[in-house]
Amino acid sequence: MAARALVLGITGQDGSYLTEFLLKKNYEVIGLTRSETSPAALKWRKIADEAGETATLIEVDYEDYRSVMDVIISVNPDEVYNLASQSSVASSFQQPVATLHINGVITLAVLEACRELTKRGQPRLFQASTSEMFGKAQSYPQTEQTPFHPLSPYACSKVYAYHQTINYREAYGLFACNGIMFNHESPRRPERFVTRKITAAAAQIAAGLRDHVTLGNLDVGRDWGFAKDYVDAMWRMLQHHEPDDYVIATNQWHTLEELLERAFRRVGLNWHDFVRQDPALMRPTEVTRLQGDYSKAHNILGWEPLIKFDQLIDMMVDVDVSLVEANCTS
């Protein structure tokens, strides 16, 4: 009998890659979404269909704590992947209460549902945490022992969810794991995120469709990996015999200027000629450097990232160039 996986936030970047990954392993995949007819849901449906397997979407009101609990309990999954999140740092400053609700309160609903399900069996839970929790870190690279110093409402909400996950694991014996995910990107990343904003802009500028891209603070750096690699780490955490928390990263740090250099070079341009800065895009507080050490995940789970930074950016630019060409000929 196939294992049943329930994925909250299934229509996002990570959810789409996780769907493909689990279907290839013959899971029954069920996903929760706000709307089955949203553009993200329709795009996810196409990806699931191309994987050659059947996956199910269920609409749920993420504003309703009890409804989320009831759906999870009714599905009775073997594994739960909580990817549902308001994941934009910039938006979290504008919508702190909504950010806390989806990232904190709904995580609590997931934990309560899993606790209820332990009466029938033992569901295993993956909770998507974030490197933004480290914030103003004083040491590099960051490990599972690095203290948190969050610098945004998004990061604060994720710290809450992280500790609640540990609390339920220790208080109720829940098989619950936190994956402290450093920045992970792909061609499926929405353009509101800076990596895809840059790669899409490079492709469009090279095609003569625009003449610049506007960004905020360029004096930042991140540990950027490939989202498809990171869903493998999520799954590995739930296959291990003991639940634990893991940093998922590449051990490498790159500046935003390096990203710009790589992306624009891929289309034969100098980024300095096309990038403008707007103070309005600056955040009230800025995390300047995040770099993760994935040694624990490698030693215990046998996981490591396969796609390196240069490959990732080249891949994203190439896909965006193909999208521009397809749109121009359609």
How many other CB atoms are found less than 10 A from the CB of residue 143? 16
Crossing angle for the helix pair 153-172 and 106-117, to the nearest 10 degrees: 20
Looking at the predicted structure, is the pLDDT value of residue 77 above 70?
yes
160 is catalytic: no
Higher-pLDDT residue of 141, 280: 141
Rounded CA-CA distance 1/112 in Å is 26
Question: Which one from 20, 112, 132, 185 is the annotated catalytic residue?
Answer: 132
Mean of the per-residue pLDDT values for the chain?
93
Q: Which of 196, 95, 152, 165 is nearest to 290 (CA)?
A: 152
Query: CA 186 → CA 44, 142, 294, distances in Å?
Result: 15, 23, 20
130 is catalytic: yes
Rounded CA-CA distance 148/154 in Å is 13
Share of the chain above pLDDT 90, in %: 75
Confidence of residue 92 (pLDDT cuts 50, 70, 90): confident
What backbone phi and psi angles, to 5 degrees, belong to 80?
-125, 130
How much is the pTM?
Answer: 0.94
Rounded CA-CA distance 67/321 in Å is 42
Exposure pattern of 234-260 as b/e (b: 16+ CB <10 Å)? bbbbbeeeebbbbbbbbbbbbebeebb
Confidence of residue 250 (pLDDT cuts 50, 70, 90): very high
Confidence of residue 306 (pLDDT cuts 50, 70, 90): very high
Question: Which one from 19, 33, 107, 130 is the annotated catalytic residue?
Answer: 130
Q: What superfamily does domain 194-221+253-290+309-329 belong to in CATH?
A: UDP-galactose 4-epimerase, domain 1 (3.90.25.10)
pLDDT digits (tens, 9 = 90+) for 179-213: 999 999 999 999 989 999 999 999 999 999 999 99
Question: Which one from 27, 154, 168, 246 is the annotated catalytic residue?
Answer: 154
Same fold, 4-185+225-248 and 194-221+253-290+309-329: no
Q: What superfamily does domain 4-185+225-248 belong to in CATH?
A: NAD(P)-binding Rossmann-like Domain (3.40.50.720)
Mean pLDDT for 20-46 is: 87
What pLDDT is attached to residue 9? 93
Confidence of residue 284 (pLDDT cuts 50, 70, 90): confident
